[in-house]
């Protein structure tokens, strides 16, 4: 692509480094910003730089935070004896949005994935064990993706946690609410059959 302006070329190049944004989309974004009042671009630019510059990670759970301790860990009404282990911030937000979890979190910062060269030492696992040894924790809920990597991570963590005599659970796997049985893959359906639940606890109280 030939750009009439070096400034535009630079902005397009920076945008197109973002995931899912190619050169054409980047150009569309840049031309949109050019049509908007100048403040829009300043706000976007500053928000991005400030975010990256001032962001901190919670000392307790490694969730992103504006301060030393995140809002969830600092909330006295949260059950600190129930810890949900997740991969990333996005998963914290997903669980939070259900409004069905009142415990605290532990963000691993990834999952064990030998293919990508990510081992247990690259994750926030030691701090999790330290937390469990220091605090009174009754249950750990593993909320990791139902993939080979997620299962490997759960297996590794469970082996580490078992000596501490803490209950380990994992979010259930089964067919999606609203999903159609005939389109469900056989592995999911098999697990949904094996892990069937009594009718009384069947309905989600939303």
Site string for a copy of itself, 97-116 (x = CB under 8 A): x-------------------
- Could you tell me which of 191, 62, 74, 170 has the C-alpha nearest to residue 123? 62
Site string for a copy of itself, 124-153 (x = CB under 8 A): ------------------------------
Question: Applying CB under 8 A, does 85 fall inside the site for a copy of itself?
Answer: no
Question: Applying CB under 8 A, does 49 fall inside the site for a copy of itself?
Answer: yes
At its nearest, how many Å lie between a copy of itself and the CB of residue 107?
10
Question: Applying CB under 8 A, does 117 fall inside the site for a copy of itself?
Answer: no
Question: Applying CB under 8 A, does 68 fall inside the site for a copy of itself?
Answer: no
CB contact at 8 A, 78 and 104: yes
Question: Applying CB under 8 A, does 65 fall inside the site for a copy of itself?
Answer: yes
Task: Report CA-CA distances (Å) from 183 to 145, 176, 178.
Answer: 20, 11, 12
CB contact at 8 A, 173 and 158: no
Q: At 79, phi and psi to the nearest 5?
A: -80, 105
Alpha helices in the chain (DSSP H): 6-15, 23-35, 38-54, 71-74, 89-98, 126-134, 148-161, 186-194
The CA distance from 92 to 44, in Å, is: 25
| Out of 69, 75, 96, 100, the residue judged to bind a copy of itself by CB under 8 A | 96
Q: Which residues bind a copy of itself (CB under 8 A)?
A: 1-8, 10-11, 13-15, 17-21, 25, 27-34, 38, 40-55, 63-66, 70-72, 88-90, 92-93, 96-97
């Amino acid at each position: 692509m030939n750009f009439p302006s070096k400034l535009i070329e630079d902005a397009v190049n920076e945008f197109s480094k973002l995931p899912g944004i190619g050169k054409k989309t980047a150009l569309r974004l840049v031309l949109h910003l050019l049509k908007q009042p100048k403040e829009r671009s300043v706000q976007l630019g500053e928000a991005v730089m400030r975010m990256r510059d001032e962001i901190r990670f919670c000392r307790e759970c490694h969730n992103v935070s504006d301060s030393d301790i995140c809002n969830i860990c600092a909330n006295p009404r949260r059950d600190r004896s129930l810890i949900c282990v997740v991969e990333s911030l996005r998963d914290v937000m997903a669980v939070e949005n259900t409004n069905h979890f009142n415990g605290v979190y532990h963000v691993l910062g990834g999952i064990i994935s030998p293919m990508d060269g990510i081992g247990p030492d690259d994750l926030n696992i030691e701090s999790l064990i330290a937390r469990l040894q220091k605090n009174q924790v009754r249950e750990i809920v593993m909320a990791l993706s139902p993939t080979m990597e997620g299962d490997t991570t759960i297996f590794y963590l469970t082996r580490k946690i078992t000596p501490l005599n803490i209950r380990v659970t994992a979010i259930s796997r089964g067919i999606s609410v609203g999903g159609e049985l005939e389109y469900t893959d056989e592995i999911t359906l098999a697990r949904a059959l094996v892990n069937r639940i009594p009718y009384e606890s069947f309905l989600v109280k939303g």
